[in-house]
């Protein structure tokens, strides 16, 4: 019983620690956001092409600076500066035309000014299930909190006319729609410098896909070579999320992340540091702006060395990629390829777009447990089509996998129940001699082949599985707004009527009554009170997680009841 007391206090200490962490998240003063910080992975290299500290992240063109060759001849058409250090004249920004693009899953708005993606709505993902017309906007240049846009282009380093996000493109139509008999849709945009250089952009989309393939084709019909590099960038509003235990979604990461081909890293915007970014041009990586359940990710050409950049100013950040310099000789052509994924964190689609892009479905440190759980859950869901029943079946399979461990533990607990009267008598006999009491009880355990800690091991094993399930249900967009039965219409949210938490509390109390009661009256009262504490704690957890715990508890009760019956029969035979 002393060991059980130690375990009890350890469990309470863990609960207090978790509550302390939650309190610190909920009530600690926020760290002030930097007024203006600009960082770039390229700044630490001699061949730097840093992002200029412009007055607005939205307006800045990356890659400014002289390219590592002579100024191309096409720059001669640009007006010369009156004197060294003089600012070039600021041209009036031309009016942009909007291009509407619709597929079966995306509703997009590009503009002819730079081909900028100013609005992106997800047609199958409303913000709330009861308001299907209020769709999620992953890009919104006119957002109430701040602009979020995707910009892309080619830059010469600012020394010649270039098809960047400030260049005016032409489009053959103002609306493109994927027809019912189409599987692909291509939107062309064209630009020319008037001196023989023509750039054609192709925006390619596919049915059922959130992937946008971007191609920039350059034809140089001039008399001089032209040098440029491709870039893409996402400018996004950011604000520190005030975490609350009453809203589990606030613990989901929101902000920029990068993958350098080997390591996935979420970037810290409160203390921006160039060391967060890859140190040198690399291949096989990507950059992404994460939200809960959704992501906008830039995947550069996997064969081209790429620089990654990050700029932070006030409550906005700009995350970008810049490819290598390419020379296009007179009469030659060249193509620049990049991919944009903008949509829900559907792990199967993400994995097909780029290696490890599915890590944006961020399960944190429990990824090693959560990813296999999600895979198993999704496989079961393919067979039965209901996420709630999938959770029940997967819980049963997990219980089956740990059956030998639970069987050994259950038999030990059943034996503890049968020797409880002798233990109580022993406590009365040696109540004034603690040392002798401990010695006699250890001999009793050894003689009856009972391990008083056997009941703790299954609980310790279940904790990481429980937390893994928590992150699966919190982060997997596949479970978002997924119905179960009757009033449970969204397994990723709490039970609106708290029925499942109440059932869970009753089941846990039944499990407590089935197990051997602690001889210590204080311990017995604390254990009896634990189901109520757990019910209160899990009342605001996702309904799917509570469903998992109910199923696990009911299966544990059934298993322990059967073991108790078998041990009781064995005791009668021995008698």
Q: What are the chain's domains?
A: 96-354 (2.70.98.90), 373-574 (no CATH)
Q: Which residues are registered as beta bridge partners of 265?
A: 258
Contact 324, 134 (CB under 8 A): no
> Considering the entire predicted model, what is its pTM?
0.76
Contacts of 401 (CB under 8 A, 6+ apart): none
Q: Residue 452 corresponds to which tokens in the numbers above?
A: 């008083």
How far is 244 from 252, CA to CA, in rounded Å?
11
Tell me which H or E stretch contains 508. helix 499-514
Contact 482, 381 (CB under 8 A): no
pLDDT at 204: 97
Q: Residue 149 corresponds to which tokens in the numbers above?
A: 């846009």
pLDDT at 474: 81
Which residues of the chain are under the pLDDT cut of 70? 1-59, 62-95, 159, 243-249, 272, 274, 406-421, 448-459, 515-524, 526-527, 564, 566-568, 570-575
Tell me how far CA of residue 546 lies from CA of 402, 440, 517, 540, in angstroms.
20, 42, 25, 9
Paired sense of beta strands 286-291 and 294-300, if any = antiparallel
pLDDT at 524: 64
Q: Residue 133 corresponds to which tokens in the numbers above?
A: 């017309």
Question: Per residue in 27-84, pLDDT tens?
Answer: 444 333 333 344 444 433 333 333 333 346 666 776 554 444 333 333 333 332 223 3
How far is 408 from 372, CA to CA, in rounded Å?
26
Backbone angles phi, psi at 169, to 5 degrees: -105, 165
How far is 426 from 441, CA to CA, in rounded Å?
8
How far is 422 from 169, CA to CA, in rounded Å?
89
Question: Per residue in 279-308, pLDDT tens?
Answer: 777 888 999 999 888 999 999 998 889 999
């Amino acid at each position: 019983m002393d060991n059980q007391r130690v375990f009890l206090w350890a469990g309470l200490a863990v609960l207090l620690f978790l509550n302390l962490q939650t309190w610190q998240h909920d009530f600690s003063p926020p760290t002030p956001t930097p007024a203006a910080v600009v960082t770039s992975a390229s700044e630490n290299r001699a061949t730097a092409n840093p992002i200029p500290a412009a007055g607005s992240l939205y307006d800045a063109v990356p890659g400014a600076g002289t390219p590592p060759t002579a100024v191309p001849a096409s720059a001669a058409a640009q007006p010369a500066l009156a004197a060294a250090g003089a600012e070039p004249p600021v041209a009036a920004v031309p009016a942009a035309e909007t291009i509407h693009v619709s597929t079966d899953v995306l509703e997009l708005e590009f503009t002819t000014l730079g081909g900028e993606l100013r609005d992106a709505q997800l047609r199958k993902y409303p913000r709330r299930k009861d308001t299907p017309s209020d769709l999620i906007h992953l890009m919104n240049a006119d957002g109430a909190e701040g602009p979020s846009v995707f910009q892309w282009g080619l830059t010469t380093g600012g020394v010649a006319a270039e098809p960047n996000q400030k260049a005016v493109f032409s489009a053959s139509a103002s609306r493109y729609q994927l027809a019912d008999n189409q599987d692909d849709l291509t939107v062309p945009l064209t630009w020319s410098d008037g001196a023989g250089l023509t750039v054609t952009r192709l925006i390619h989309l596919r049915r059922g896909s959130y992937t946008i393939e971007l191609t920039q084709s350059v034809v140089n019909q001039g008399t001089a070579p032209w040098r440029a590099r491709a870039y893409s960038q996402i400018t996004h509003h950011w604000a520190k999320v005030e975490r609350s235990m009453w809203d589990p979604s606030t613990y989901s990461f929101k902000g920029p992340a990068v993958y350098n081909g080997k390591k996935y890293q979420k970037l810290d915007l409160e203390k921006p540091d160039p060391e967060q970014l890859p140190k040198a041009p690399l291949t096989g990586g990507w950059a992404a702006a994460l939200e809960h359940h959704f992501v906008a990710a830039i995947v550069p050409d996997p064969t081209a060395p790429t620089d990654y950049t990050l700029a932070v100013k006030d409550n906005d950040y700009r995350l970008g990629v810049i490819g290598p310099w390419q020379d296009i000789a007179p009469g030659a052509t060249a193509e620049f390829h990049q991919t944009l994924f903008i949509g829900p964190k559907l792990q199967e689609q993400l994995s097909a777009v780029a290696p490890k892009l599915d890590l944006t479905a961020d399960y944190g440190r429990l990824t090693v447990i959560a990813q296999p759980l999600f895979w198993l859950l999704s496989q079961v869901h393919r067979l039965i089509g209901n996420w709630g029943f999938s959770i029940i079946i997967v819980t049963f399979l997990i219980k089956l996998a740990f059956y030998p461990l639970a069987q050994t533990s259950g038999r030990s607990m059943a034996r503890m129940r049968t020797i409880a009267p002798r233990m109580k008598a022993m406590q009365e006999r040696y109540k004034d001699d603690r040392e002798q009491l401990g010695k006699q009880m250890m001999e009793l355990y050894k003689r009856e082949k009972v391990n008083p800690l056997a009941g703790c091991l299954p609980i310790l094993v279940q904790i990481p599985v429980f937390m893994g399930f928590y992150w699966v249900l919190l982060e997997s967009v596949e479970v978002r707004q997924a119905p179960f039965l009757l009033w449970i219409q969204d397994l990723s949210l709490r039970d609106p009527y708290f029925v499942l938490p109440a059932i869970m509390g009753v089941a846990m109390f039944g499990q407590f009554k089935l197990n051997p009661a602690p001889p210590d009256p204080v311990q017995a009262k604390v254990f009896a009170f634990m189901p109520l504490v757990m019910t209160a704690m899990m009342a605001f957890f996702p309904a799917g997680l509570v469903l998992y715990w109910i199923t696990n508890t009911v299966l544990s009760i059934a298993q322990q009841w059967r073991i108790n019956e078998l041990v009781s029969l064995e005791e009668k035979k021995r008698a």
